[in-house]
Amino acid sequence: MGKKSIVIYNSKRGSTKQYAEWIAGELKCTAVPLQNFDYGSLGQFDVVIFGSWLRGSGIVGFDKFRKQIAAHADKLIIFVTGISDYNPQNYQQICEINFTDEINMQNTPLYFCPGRYVPSEVAGLDKFLMAISKKVLISGATDKESSSAANTMVDAIVNGVDNVDKRYTEQVLRAAKKKLKDEL
């Protein structure tokens, strides 16, 4: 029997869904929205790829998903989308916030895929959080390097940004193909 993969995603504005569809297309498997996924089917898959977006370094929807996949954590690969630039400090913060139990950062591949942000599409809590983030970024930059990064992020919050690019799926695909090969 052939090895099976699935991509489960949580997308709010489309960039996570786009990456999920690209990954599923390359692996010739299904991409399923998190809210439609049947957790009882997890045992059927050799590789489970979970994608979601970041809010304050938290992987949205991962808390619920984590409880369901704990028994299959060795099959898991995670990708996240966001508008901040990838850097080791951001990666560490994402890991510290999201990996606190049997699904840990030493055993779970985690990849960052740049997303998109369209200010006119944001409302409610997300709009409030972005306004707070902007104020914190403007007031918190203390050196030239952090000031430059803060200015880039503020520009993305104010004007929007679209950094979605298929090439960022390559890292996720390599990890999935390695897991599939190792399962043989």
Q: Which residue has the tokens 């984590």?
A: 66
Q: What pLDDT was estimated at residue 99?
A: 83
Give 167-176 pLDDT, tens digit per residue.
999 999 999 9
| Percentage of the residues of the chain whose pLDDT score is greater than 90 | 46
Buried (b) or exposed (e) across 111-132, using 16+ Cβ within 10 A?
A: bbbbbbbeeeebeeeeeeebee
- Mean of per-residue pLDDT scores for the chain: 86
Tell me the whole-structure pTM to 2 decimals: 0.86
Domain definitions of the chain by residue range? 5-117+162-181, 119-159
Average pLDDT over residues 86-104: 79
Residue range 42-90, pLDDT digits in tens: 999 999 999 999 988 889 999 889 888 888 889 999 999 998 877 788 8
Q: Which CATH architecture has domain 5-117+162-181?
A: 3-Layer(aba) Sandwich (3.40)
